[in-house]
Amino acid sequence: MIMADKKGCWDNEDCDHGPQKDKPFFEKHRFTFGYFVAVLLGLMIFNALIGQNVQNHRTIPYSEFKERIRDGEITRVEMGGNYYLGMTDRPEEPQEQSSFVYRTVPVDDPGFVPLLEEKGINYYAVIQQEPALLNLILGWLLPLVVLVLLWRFMFKRMGDMGSNVMSFGKNKSIIVAEGSTGVTFEDVAGADEAKEELVEVVDFLKVPDKYLDIGGKIPKGILLVGPPGTGKTLLARAVAGNAGVPFFRMSGADFVEMFVGVGAARVRDLFKQARTKAPCIIFIDELDAIGKSRVNAMGGNDERETTLNQLLVEMDGFDAASGVIILAATNRPEILDPALLRPGRFDRQVLVDRPDVHGREQILRIHSKNVKLAENVDLEEIARMTPGFVGADLANIVNEAALLAVRRGRRTIITGDFKEAIEKVVAGLEKKSKLINPQERRTVAYHETGHALVAAFTPGSDPVSKISIVPRGFGALGYTLQTPTEDRYLLTQEELLGKIDVLLGGRAAEELSFGMVSTGAANDLSRATDISRSMITEYGMSERFKNVALSKRSAPMLGTRDPFLQREYAESTQSYIDEEISRMINERYRQVKNFLDEKRDLLEKVTAQLLEKEVLEREEFFRLIGRESGVPSEQGEPGQV
């Protein structure tokens, strides 16, 4: 039985920290550069020690050295490059049996040699020689060792480069072992219809005979389509987790390299590995990176097209009965090549759309399992406050709420934390420290009050939940938060006009209060113009072109691969569109301005309260205007046609 030690190394593996008693000496003590440096230093120290003169000597000053020559004590002088050695035949110490040696450092003295000749001193010069062992090491051994190390390093790098070149054709998929994705369908919420479509795939991988006996075939490829953050990758992992089969995960961008043909080689290698692991699932994320349509692609991209062709061939070349299922995900299905979407390849498209209010509540419950919520937190209410949010947004809101609770020193998350987290995601980070002069602050207050009053009296408008003049986000000096009571998929002409009215309410309030307008309505005007243009060109809501869509089509630009929008109507029609947008905006603005003039007392009252408190919640706002939320507006007010 194989056992693991404390460091997780198996006894039958060659680990550096495992049992060493049965290994040869050279395996237990591998040679390293540190050992080489230690040996070299040791040899140098040894050579210096044995190179020293074993004779007894004493270093004396040069003047004393000459004095001992004059006295006749020194009888023989050896002149070297660094020292003069003076030997005597009369040892001063009786226990010494050899002559005593005096050593001195020579100086530039022209009279030294005449002094030796005068006293009859035997003198001679010696050549300064370096130790033979040190010369051998520094002159021969060290250069050879450095050369060998450089040679090995260069060949190792060349080998690594060669292996990298050879590995270009290997796929970069992340292989998750059987049943190890850690995700099941219980971890996926808000996509019930998509789960039902994929349950059939799981059932086929578990019990394929049930389908093969009747002659049925599972779809070869399933394309998950939906906006970013809706959980397409999570669904693919859940399929692999429930089926209990190996899971190959790869991004579309991983196929593409700078060398032509590498992507095709990686596709071949991926499918080759998948066949050996069948039954299994291949998941290709961001399929549009390699599956972009080849229609109207002037110039083209040889590498991407070669990769796409190989993918098409591989999907045609294997039988679904082999147990290899291909899942792919994209948020841009309109740009995929038609050959990918035909039956026999990605013959089933599963829409993973934004969750409704019930789905958002389920997602919030899943992400709230590991956080501590206060008893009075109503996740259904939080779900109603987050229309249009996807699963990734909701997970971020739960995490932001938890961080806010910790920042305020609480041990549980309350409803206020969720509301502030939603505002942070929608409107941006609150900037209480940003200084605004009093005049600009009053302008912002009137602007936001204008939005809120028009929204409160416009039929079909989303109810106001909060008004704030605290700066947030990137340049936003205030905001009016409207929370829909339900998910809407269709809007009437009256409701679209009501949205334009609400957007124009801010600028109208500024002009009524100050007799001038500011740049604060730039974003409001852009959105109002977009709505009016869509009403005329897309929805057929104009007098002249009623029930006619004045659409544009994409056409390739000569010499480029990027398309541009080409209109399919006359220049006179474009002039009419511009004039109709201007007429519609001016008419709605005039009505909103007249309405706010009639409600001037409410405008001043709410603005004064907003300047005092900076933030007005829903209940306080409706109390100030003397209305209850949800009460229908009177006829003839903004939003009425």
| Both structure tokens of 144 | 């050879």
**Contact assessment for residue 295 and residue 339, using Cβ atoms and an 8 Å cutoff:** no
Q: What is the pLDDT of residues 379-413, one digit of tens each?
A: 988 998 888 899 899 999 999 999 999 999 999 99
The confidence score (pLDDT) of residue 85 equals 85
Residue 324 pLDDT grade (very low, low, confident, very high; cuts 50, 70, 90): confident
The confidence score (pLDDT) of residue 298 equals 53
The confidence score (pLDDT) of residue 487 equals 78
Mean pLDDT to the nearest integer, 625-631: 66
Residue 218 pLDDT grade (very low, low, confident, very high; cuts 50, 70, 90): confident
Segment 573-577 long-range contacts (CB within 8 Å, at least 24 positions apart): 573/545, 576/544, 576/545, 577/533, 577/536, 577/537, 577/550
Residue 635 pLDDT grade (very low, low, confident, very high; cuts 50, 70, 90): very low
- Whether residue 231 is annotated as binding a ligand: the answer is yes
CA angle 82, 88, 91 (to 5 degrees): 120
Mean pLDDT to the nearest integer, 242-251: 83
CA angle 68, 74, 80 (to 5 degrees): 105
**Contact assessment for residue 482 and residue 455, using Cβ atoms and an 8 Å cutoff:** yes
Q: What is the pLDDT of residues 544-597, one digit of tens each?
A: 888 888 876 654 444 444 445 567 788 888 999 999 999 999 999 999 999 999
Q: Which of 480, 456, 477, 457 is nearest to 467 (CA)?
A: 480
**Crossing angle of helices 192-206/232-243, nearest 10°?**
30
The DSSP code sequence of 378-421 is -HHHHHHT-TT--HHHHHHHHHHHHHHHHHTT-SSB-HHHHHHH
Question: Bigger pLDDT: 109 or 156?
Answer: 109
The confidence score (pLDDT) of residue 44 equals 64
Number of H helices, E strands in the chain: 22, 16
Residue 499 pLDDT grade (very low, low, confident, very high; cuts 50, 70, 90): very high
- Whether residue 447 is annotated as binding a ligand: the answer is yes
Greatest Cα-to-Cα distance within the chain, rounded to the nearest angstrom: 139
Instruction: Tell whether omega for the bond before 279 is within 30 degrees of 0, i.e. cis.
Output: yes
- Whether residue 109 is annotated as binding a ligand: the answer is no
Q: 267 by DSSP, 3-state: which?
A: helix
Mean pLDDT to the nearest integer, 56-79: 84
pLDDT of 60 above 50:
yes
Winning range, highest mean pLDDT, from 11-20, 59-68, 606-615: 606-615
- Whether residue 358 is annotated as binding a ligand: the answer is no
Find where tokens 């992992």 sit. 237
Quick one: DSSP state of residue 82? Answer: S
Q: Mean pLDDT across the chain, nearest whole number? A: 79
Q: What is the pLDDT of residues 203-212, one digit of tens each?
A: 887 887 888 7
The confidence score (pLDDT) of residue 512 equals 93
Q: 87 by DSSP, 3-state: which?
A: strand
- Alpha-carbon span 534 to 532, nearest angstrom: 5
The confidence score (pLDDT) of residue 561 equals 45
First to last CA, the chain: 83
What is the enclosing helix (H) or strand (E) of 251?
strand 247-251
The confidence score (pLDDT) of residue 418 equals 92
The confidence score (pLDDT) of residue 7 equals 38
**How much of the chain exceeds pLDDT 70, in percent?**
76
Mean pLDDT to the nearest integer, 282-308: 76
Q: What are the phi and psi torsion angles at 47 (to 5°)?
A: -65, -40
- Whether residue 451 is annotated as binding a ligand: the answer is yes
- Alpha-carbon span 418 to 7, nearest angstrom: 44
Question: Bigger pLDDT: 629 or 87?
Answer: 87
**How much of the chain exceeds pLDDT 90, in percent?**
24
**Contact assessment for residue 436 and residue 457, using Cβ atoms and an 8 Å cutoff:** no
The confidence score (pLDDT) of residue 84 equals 85
Which residues have CB under 8 Å from 633's CB, separation 6+? 457, 458, 459, 639
Active site residue 197: no
Residue 216 pLDDT grade (very low, low, confident, very high; cuts 50, 70, 90): confident
| Both structure tokens of 339 | 């050959």
**Crossing angle of helices 522-537/571-598, nearest 10°?**
130
**Contact assessment for residue 200 and residue 218, using Cβ atoms and an 8 Å cutoff:** yes
The confidence score (pLDDT) of residue 13 equals 40
pLDDT of 5 above 50:
no
Q: What are the phi and psi torsion angles at 277 (to 5°)?
A: -100, 5
- Whether residue 230 is annotated as binding a ligand: the answer is yes
- Whether residue 221 is annotated as binding a ligand: the answer is no
Q: For 78-92, 100-114, 145-159, 571-585, which range has the lowest pLDDT when averaged over its residues?
A: 145-159
Rounded (10°) CA dihedral 392, 393, 395, 398: 170
The confidence score (pLDDT) of residue 8 equals 38
Mean pLDDT to the nearest integer, 91-109: 67
Mean pLDDT to the nearest integer, 512-532: 92
Q: Give the pairing of strands 479-482 and 552-556.
A: unpaired
Q: Which residue is catalytic, options 423, 448, 510, 637?
A: 448
- Spell out where 517-637 has E strands: 552-556, 563-567, 615-617
The confidence score (pLDDT) of residue 170 equals 54
pLDDT of 292 above 90:
no
pLDDT of 198 above 60:
yes
- Whether residue 227 is annotated as binding a ligand: the answer is yes
The confidence score (pLDDT) of residue 70 equals 86
Q: For 52-66, 186-200, 279-293, 335-349, which range has the lowest pLDDT when averaged over its residues?
A: 52-66
Mean pLDDT to the nearest integer, 467-480: 83
The DSSP code sequence of 352-386 is -----HHHHHHHHHHHTTTS-B-TT--HHHHHHT-
Phi-psi region of 190 (alpha: psi -120 to 50; beta: other; left: phi over 0): left
pLDDT of 166 above 50:
no
Q: What is the pLDDT of residues 332-375, one digit of tens each?
A: 888 888 888 888 888 888 899 889 889 999 999 999 988 999 98
Q: Which of 398, 395, 383, 390 is nearest to 355 (CA)?
A: 390
The confidence score (pLDDT) of residue 128 equals 64
pLDDT of 179 above 70:
no
Q: What is the pLDDT of residues 424-467, one digit of tens each?
A: 888 777 777 777 888 999 999 999 999 999 999 998 888 898 89
Q: Which of 480, 571, 494, 554 is nearest to 523 (CA)?
A: 480
The confidence score (pLDDT) of residue 318 equals 59
- Spell out where 440-531 has E strands: 464-468, 479-482
The confidence score (pLDDT) of residue 180 equals 62
